[in-house]
C-alpha cells in the first residue's frame, strides 16, 4: 500500500513540473503582446510549485523577479550587467537586483 502512495506522489510531482514548464513556455510566447498575462502565468506556476512542493528549475527561477514575481525578459523587463564573478539582473518594474555567480573565461 505504501508503494502505491509513493508512486502516486511521484506522478503528481511529475505532472506539476510539466505544468510549470508549460506555463513558463506560454509566458515567453505571450510576453510581447500581453506582459500582464505572462506575469499571471508565472504566478500560477509558482503557486503550483508551492502547492505540490516542487522546486522551480534554476533556468526558470532566473526568469522570475524575487521582488514583484514578474516575468523577466532581458532587455525588456530586466537589465543584465556583468561584473567580475557575478551577473547582476535588475527588474525594471520594482528595481530589485539579483546576483548570480558565473564563471568568466580565463585568458591564457
CA-based nearest residue to 44, from 62, 67, 19: 19
pTM across the whole model: 0.85
CA-based nearest residue to 62, from 48, 82, 42: 42
CA dihedral 34, 59, 96, 36 (to 10 degrees): 10
Structural domain boundaries enclosing 96 = 2-101
Alpha-carbon distance of 75 to 12, in angstroms, equals 36
Is 107 part of any domain? no
pLDDT digits (tens, 9 = 90+) for 35-87: 999 999 999 999 999 999 999 999 999 999 999 999 999 999 999 999 989 99
CATH of the domain at 81: 1.20.5.420
Per the structure, the count of domains in the chain is 1
Amino acid at each position: 500500500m505504501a508503494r502505491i502512495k509513493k508512486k502516486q506522489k511521484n506522478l503528481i510531482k511529475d505532472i506539476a513540473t510539466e505544468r510549470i514548464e508549460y506555463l513558463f513556455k506560454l509566458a515567453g510566447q505571450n510576453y510581447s503582446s500581453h506582459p500582464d498575462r505572462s506575469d499571471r502565468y508565472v504566478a500560477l506556476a509558482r503557486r503550483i510549485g508551492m502547492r505540490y512542493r516542487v522546486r522551480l528549475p534554476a533556468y526558470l527561477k532566473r526568469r522570475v523577479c524575487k521582488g514583484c514575481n514578474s516575468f523577466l525578459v532581458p532587455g525588456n523587463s530586466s537589465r543584465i550587467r556583468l561584473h567580475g564573478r557575478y551577473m547582476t539582473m535588475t527588474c525594471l518594474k520594482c528595481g530589485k537586483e539579483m546576483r548570480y555567480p558565473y564563471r568568466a573565461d580565463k585568458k591564457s
